[in-house]
Amino acid sequence: MKLAVGAHTGTGTWLMQRATAIVLSLALPGLTIHFMLAWPVDFAGWQALFAPLWMRVLLLLTVLALALHAWVGVRDILMDYVHFTGLRLALYLAVIITLAGSVAWLAAVLWSQA
Amino acid sequence: MKPIARPVYLDLLRIHLPLPGWVSILHRVSGVLLFLAVPLGVWVLSRSLSDEAGFLRMLDWATRPPVKLLLLLAVWAFAHHLCAGVRHLALDIHWGVNLKPARQSSLAVMLAAGLVTLLAAWKLFA
C-alpha cells in the first residue's frame, strides 16, 4: 500500500513546484509579449486573439499550471503561519475552491464563444 | 565575568533582515498577491470577452488612477516573483549559494523587479 504520510511526500510537492515554475517562467512572459505586440485592439480584435484553438489550450494549460503552483505555495504559507488546524483546513478549502473555480471558469469563458 | 548582554525579545525596530531575507519574504508576499489576482484576472477576461460594452468598461477602468496603481502592484508582484523564483531555481542546483553571490543575486532581483515596475509606471502614468 502507498504511504500517504511521511518525509518522502514532500519530494513530489517540491518537484511539482519546480516543474510548474519552469513552465510558468516561459509561458507567462511569452503570452505577455504576444498580447503586448498585438495591442492596441478593438473588441473584434480582442475576441480574435482568443479565437485560435492553440491559444485557448495554451491559456488553459498555463492557468492550470498556475493553479497547481499557487496551491503548493499558499499551502506552504498557511502551514507556516496558521497553527490552528480547523482554521487551516478551512483556508485550504477556500484556496482549492478559488483555484479550481478559476480554472473551470476560464475554460467556460474561453469556450463560450466558440 | 559578566555574561554578554543578549536580546531577550525581538525589537523589530532594531533587528533587520539581510537582503536575501527581503527577497525571500517579498517572494511570499508577491505570491499571495498573484494568487489573489487569479480569480480577478479571470473575471476581467470574462467581462472583456462577453460583449463590446464589457470590453469598453474594462478599458475605461484601466484609465482610473487607483486601478492603475493596482496594475502597477501586480506588475511588481509578477516581476519580483519571477526573478526571485529564477534565483531560487539557481540555488536549487547549488548555483550562487555562497554568501557573496547570494547577496549579489538578491540585489539583482530587487533591482530588476524595480526596473520593470518603473518602466510599467512610465507606460501607465506618463
Residue B110: give its domain's CATH number.
1.20.1300.10
Does residue A114 have a pLDDT over 60?
no
> A104 in a domain, yes or no?
yes
Does A1 reside within a domain? no
A50 interfacial to chain B (CB closer than 8 Å)? yes
In angstroms, rounded to a whole number, what is the distance separating the alpha carbons of residues B97 and B93?
A: 9
Domain that holds residue B44: 19-125
pTM score, whole prediction: 0.89
3-state secondary structure string across B46-88: HHHHHCHHHHHHHHHHCCCHHHHHHHHHHHHHHHHHHHHHHHH
pLDDT confidence of residue B8: 72
Asked if residue A3 belongs to a domain, the reply is: no
Give me the pLDDT at residue A10, please.
84
Is B29 exposed, middle or buried, given 0-12, 13-18 or 19+ CB atoms closer than 10 A? middle
What is the band of B14 on the pLDDT scale with cuts at 50, 70, 90? confident
Structural domain count of chain A = 1
Q: How many domains does chain B have?
A: 1
Establish if B105 belongs to a structural domain: yes
**Which CATH number characterizes residue A27's domain?**
1.20.1300.10
Q: What is the mean pLDDT of residues B37-54?
A: 96
Q: A36 CB contacts (<8 Å, ≥6 apart)?
A: none
Average pLDDT, chain A: 93
A47 vs B35, B49, B78: nearest CB: B49
Q: Which domain holds residue A79?
A: 9-112
Amino acid type, B23: V
Residues A42-50 have a mean pLDDT of: 95
| A101 part of contact set with chain B, CB < 8 Å | yes
CA distance B43 to B51: 13
Q: How close is the nearest chain B Cα to the Cα of A59, in Å?
A: 11
Cell 536549487 belongs to B92
Distance CA B36, CA B52 (A): 26
CB B38 within 8 A of CB A102: yes
Contact present, A24 and A69 (Cβ < 8 Å): yes
Q: Which three cell numbers stand for residue B83?
A: 526573478
Q: Please indicate, yes or no, if residue A83 is contained in any of the structural domains.
A: yes
C-alpha cell at A96: 482549492
**A106 interfacial to chain B (CB closer than 8 Å):** yes
Average pLDDT over residues A95-108: 98
Rounded (10°) CA dihedral B74, B80, B81, B86: 150
Task: Kindly state whether residue A72 falls inside one of the protein's structural domains.
Answer: yes
- Residues of A whose CB is below 8 A from B32: 74, 77
| pLDDT above 90 for B11 | no
